[in-house]
Amino acid sequence: MIPNHYVQQGDANHTATRRSYLNEQDPETRQWIEEDARYFLHQALSTPVMNVLSKAEGAYIYDMQGKKYLDLHGNGVHNIGFSNPVVTEAVKQQLENQLAFTPRRYTNRPAVQFAKKLTEMAPPGLSRVLFCPGGSEAVEMAVLLAKQVTGKWKTISFWDNYHGTTYQAATIGGTEHFMVGQGPMVPGAFHVEFPNYYRNPWGLKDKEAIDEQYLRQIEVIVERHPDIACIMGTTITSTPVVPTAYYWQRVKDICERHGALLIFDEIVCGLGRSGKLFACEHYLTPDVVVLGKSLGGGLLPFAGILTHEKYNTLQHRSIGHFTHEKSPLCSAAGLATLEYIENHEVVANAAQLGNYLKERLLELQEEFPIIGNVEGQGLHLALDLITGPVTKGRAFEEAEKILYECMKRGLSFKLIDGNVITLRPALIITRDEVDFIADTLRAAFQTLN
Ligand SMILES: Cc1ncc(COP(=O)(O)O)c(C=O)c1O
CA distance 268 to 98: 32
Nearest CA to ligand 1 atom 8: 135
13 CA distance to ligand 1 middle (Å): 20
Of ligand 1's listed atoms, the one at least distance from the Cα of 269 is 1
Of ligand 1's listed atoms, the one at least distance from the Cα of 134 is 10
**pLDDT score for 6:** 54
Of ligand 1's listed atoms, the one at least distance from the Cα of 301 is 10
**70, containing H or E segment:** strand 68-71
How far the first Cα of the chain sits from its last, in Å, is 26
CA distance 320 to 290: 13
CA distance 301 to 158: 26
CA distance 118 to 224: 38
CA distance 401 to 297: 32
Of ligand 1's listed atoms, the one at least distance from the Cα of 166 is 11
Nearest CA to ligand 1 atom 10: 135
266 CA distance to ligand 1 middle (Å): 9
Protein residues with CB under 6 Å of any ligand 1 atom? 76, 134-136, 139, 162-164, 234, 238, 265, 267-268, 292, 303
Spell out the residues 6+ positions from residue 330 whose beta carbon is closer than 8 angstroms to its own.
131, 133, 296, 300, 301, 302, 324
Burial readout 222-240 (b: 16 or more C-beta within 10 A, e: otherwise): beeeeebbbbbbbbbbbbb
Cis bond upstream, residue 226 (ω within 30): no
Of ligand 1's listed atoms, the one at least distance from the Cα of 139 is 4
235 CA distance to ligand 1 middle (Å): 13
* Nearest C-alpha neighbor of 58 from the set 439, 320, 426: 426
**pLDDT score for 438:** 98
Q: Is residue 216 classed exposed, middle or buried when 0-12, 13-18 and 19+ CB atoms within 10 A define those classes?
A: exposed
343 CA distance to ligand 1 middle (Å): 27
**pLDDT score for 23:** 86
pTM of the model: 0.96
Q: Which of 237, 293, 305 to mutate to test the pocket of ligand 1 (most atoms within 8 A of CB)?
A: 293
Nearest CA to ligand 1 atom 4: 163
**pLDDT score for 24:** 87
**pLDDT score for 2:** 55
Using CA atoms, how far residue 221 sits from 122, 157, 212, 217, 252, in Å, is 31, 11, 15, 7, 15
Q: Which of 8, 75, 238, 268 to mutate to test the pocket of ligand 1 (most atoms within 8 A of CB)?
A: 268
Print pLDDT tens along the chain (449 aa). 555 555 555 666 778 888 888 888 999 999 999 999 999 999 988 999 999 999 999 999 999 999 999 999 999 999 999 999 999 999 999 999 999 999 999 999 999 999 999 999 999 999 999 999 999 999 999 999 999 999 999 999 999 999 999 999 999 999 999 999 999 999 999 999 999 999 999 999 999 999 999 999 999 999 999 999 999 999 999 999 999 999 999 999 999 999 999 999 999 999 999 999 999 999 999 999 999 999 999 999 999 999 999 999 999 999 999 999 999 999 999 999 999 999 999 999 999 999 999 999 999 999 999 999 999 999 999 999 999 999 999 999 999 999 999 999 999 999 999 999 999 999 999 999 999 999 999 999 999 98
Nearest CA to ligand 1 atom 2: 163
Nearest CA to ligand 1 atom 7: 135
Q: Are 45 and 9 in contact (CB under 8 A)?
A: yes
Residue-range domains of the chain with CATH: 16-80+346-446 (3.90.1150.10), 85-343 (3.40.640.10)
Using CA atoms, how far residue 426 sits from 79, 271, 301, in Å, is 5, 11, 17
Q: What is the DSSP letter of 105?
A: T
